[in-house]
Amino acid sequence: MARLSLNQRVQWLPLAVTALCTTALALLLFSGVQLAARLQSASAALQLASALSSQPQLLRSELTLIQRGLETQTYVGDSLRSLANGRGSSNHAFARLAAAMREAGLAARSDTAALYSQAHANWQPLDSGLAGLEKYRSGDLYADSAGGSALTPAGTALKRTVDELLASQSRNTSALAGELGDLAALLRTAVVHDGQSLRSLLLGGAGLASLLLAMMLYFALRAGQSARAAGEAQRQIGNILGTVREGLFLIARDGRIGGAHSDSLVALLRAPAPAGQTFEELLRPLVDDKTLLAAGKFLGLLWKDKVNEELIESVNPLNQIEVTFHKTPGGSPEQRYLSFSFRRARASGASTDFVLGVVADVTDRVLLQRELEQLRANNDSNSALLLQLLQTEPLQLQSFLNNVEVGVRRSNALLRSPGIANTELQQKLQGVFREMHLLKGEAAALGMNSFVERTHAVEELLSTLRERPTLAGDDFVPVVVKLDELLGHKQLIGAMQERVEQARSSAVSANDIAPEHHGDTAVIATRKPPAVAPERPPSLEQSLQRLAREVSAPGGRQVRLACEGLDLVPAEYQPVVRDICIQMVRNAIVHGIEGREQRAAAGKPPTGAIRVRFAEASPQEYSLLVEDDGQGLDPARIRERALERGLLDAEQAAALNQSGAYRMLFQPGFSTASEVTEHAGRGVGLDVVNNTVRECGGRIGISTQPGKYTRFKMLLPRRDATAPSHSSAA
């Protein structure tokens, strides 16, 4: 900052000195012009005063000539004209003298003003007397006779007037000549003084001009040195901007990129000419409209001086962005990660003139960070998997893993089956959806969160495909990849289970041999472990209780699950009942049971109740009942959701009765949930239940009362234990 201030002083000093000297020289010239004008007026006044000082004597001489001419009767016409001309020129000279004295500033001086007043006062009587002579004509002065010329009365009167004028104005004429002489002397002194002052001003102006020339030469020399230094600094800055790996640029208040930027900016942003573009134009090919709008608002905050730029850096929307570049048209895209940071560029105490932008390629850092996070996640995931394996009964886990393999293989078989029409592809999609939903439900019941996450990811892909109006076979390639990952995860779990079982077996084997001490000798003997009854696999009720806790926890709901008769389920129906109960319990918690505030407003206890009951309905059928005391089913809401999802048009929705509305619940893709979560919103759960019951030849009935309860009753036909059974593991 000190260097900047010094540079500013050095830059402004020549201008200040030049302006000061120019102003002083202009003042000198202006004063010299005024003084020259005054000197000219004083000189003119001096000439007039000198001329007037001799005028009284000339006039007296003319009067004397007229007096003698009248006495000798000679011609006096020329003298009369000379007197008239002299009087006129004298009056004019007095007027010009007064004006010149005013212009020269001498009229304000007491001495010159007094002398001029006295001289003018002494001139007035003489002027009046001379004015009286102008009425006489030379031809009227003489009368010729035989005896000679004689004065006429006019000549006699003129003679008398001239005599009196000479007698009376003799003293005034002498005083007037003296006063005009004194005035001329004073004017001469003033002229000499003004001349010396003008000479001094001219000498001062010449000296100042010489000084100005010398300073201009000095500053020109300094400017040359500064230019060389600036050129060197510019070369160094160019080297820096050409070498630095980050993209450096300045953003002006109008949003445009400054002309100075680092060479890396072009390579980082793939922008051949960023200078002069607006930052929005530079950024638009890289980010979406939402990020572009957020970046504009963020830069707007930086222009406000009262906003702390350190505090708002945390909300920088361009802190890390992913961009895609195409090296050549139609070529493979290149994914890069860029990080933008911004700082105000301003001098101390000054307002913000620019915003300094810095962009860096952080792709290597991001990829390394992701790799570390993936390693950390894998370690955490393996630890969590190991804990889940230890907490899961081996037989139940093995059954689940078998179901996973069967479900994945069945899904792959569906995808490979013949049929490329859009309806056939939609059926394949729904079939895979059911398989994944069954596996996700069973994984949630076992607490196998890793499988829940992976099956949920497959459902995400399937949901995206379901929203497309038309499908192609290639659209299922990402689904196949996800299914392979799910199968690979199953194999990893199987391998870990084998190692856990081996570790358990090794621990038991080590306990079979114990040392016996006889004196100083240790005798190794075999010892049988105590007989332990085999651990019984968790029942379906325990799995459902665990599922209820897992599903109700994220929504903050309290649920009490009551199960009846599940131990009476025949072996051939256990997989079917298990799949149905998992889907129905999850559906009841997510769609049926209200939140605490809603239940309190409806006068219900805070804990929702769900009942699952299996029983013999008749000699030909079993009944499976799942009911909850939740919000019930609203046919109007069902019609509205079907209309929103495009499953019905407006006419069909208006004609849909209550029974038809309930049947909509079993349509693939239909859901009353307002958002998609891990456990709801796909419109698959009841579709799976309906498909499972229909495959068994059973029926489903719905009974509900809005705000009170919802009851699903499934009737399953009896069959031989040896008959093929539906199972997700089959």
Mean pLDDT by 10 residues, the chain (730 residues): 46 75 83 83 84 80 81 79 84 85 82 84 82 78 72 81 78 78 83 84 85 83 82 80 82 84 83 84 86 86 78 82 75 81 70 81 84 67 65 69 81 81 80 80 76 81 79 81 82 77 63 48 42 54 85 82 90 89 87 87 90 91 92 85 79 80 78 61 73 89 89 87 37
- DSSP class of residue 343? E
DSSP letters, 456-485, are: HHHHHHHHHHHTSSS--GGGGHHHHHHHHH
Q: What is the pLDDT of residue 712?
A: 92
d(CA 119, CA 125): 11
Burial 159-180 (b: 16+ CB within 10 A, else e): bebbeebbeebeebbebbbbbb
Question: Please, are residues 107 and 57 in contact by the beta-carbon 8 Å criterion?
Answer: no
CA angle 685, 688, 690 (to 5 degrees): 110
d(CA 632, CA 312): 48
Question: Please, are residues 583 and 437 in contact by the beta-carbon 8 Å criterion?
Answer: yes
Q: What is the pLDDT of residue 331?
A: 59
Residue indicated by tokens 């004597």: 57
Retrieve residue 381's tokens: 């995931």
d(CA 645, CA 665): 13
Q: What is the pLDDT of residue 4?
A: 42
Fold observed for domain 541-717: Heat Shock Protein 90 (3.30.565)
Domains 371-503 and 541-717 share a fold: no
3-state secondary structure of 664: helix
* Among the listed residues 689, 697, 694, the one whose alpha carbon sits nearest the alpha carbon of residue 668: 689
Q: What is the pLDDT of residue 280?
A: 84
Fold observed for domain 371-503: Four Helix Bundle (Hemerythrin (Met), subunit A) (1.20.120)
Output the CA–CA distances (angstroms, integers) from residue 323 to 269, 326, 356, 613, 658, in the order listed: 9, 10, 21, 56, 51
Question: Please, are residues 400 and 442 in contact by the beta-carbon 8 Å criterion?
Answer: yes
d(CA 359, CA 271): 13
* Among the listed residues 290, 298, 296, 258, the one whose alpha carbon sits nearest the alpha carbon of residue 277: 258
d(CA 129, CA 164): 9
Fold observed for domain 247-361: Beta-Lactamase (3.30.450)
Query: Domain coordinates of the chain in residue numbers?
Result: 10-215, 247-361, 371-503, 541-717
Retrieve residue 53's tokens: 């000082």
Q: What is the pLDDT of residue 519?
A: 45
Question: Please, are residues 135 and 98 in contact by the beta-carbon 8 Å criterion?
Answer: no
Retrieve residue 464's tokens: 């995206």
Q: What is the pLDDT of residue 506?
A: 64
d(CA 452, CA 93): 124
Question: Please, are residues 35 and 201 in contact by the beta-carbon 8 Å criterion?
Answer: yes
Q: What is the pLDDT of residue 89?
A: 85
Q: What is the pLDDT of residue 153?
A: 84
- Cβ count within 10 A of residue 476: 22
d(CA 677, CA 550): 13
Q: What is the pLDDT of residue 728?
A: 34
d(CA 593, CA 302): 49
φ/ψ of residue 195, rounded to 5: -65, -40
Report H helices in 417-536: 422-446, 449-466, 477-511
Consecutive H or E run containing 66: helix 2-71
Rounded (10°) CA dihedral 21, 22, 26, 27: -30
d(CA 249, CA 275): 9
- DSSP class of residue 537? P
Give Dmax over CA atoms of the chain in angstroms: 209
Strand locations in 568-708 (E) = 607-618, 621-628, 699-705
CA angle 306, 307, 312 (to 5 degrees): 170
d(CA 656, CA 668): 18
pTM over 0.75: no
List all residues 6 or more positions away from 214 whose beta carbon is below 8 Å from its beta carbon.
none
Q: What is the pLDDT of residue 626?
A: 93
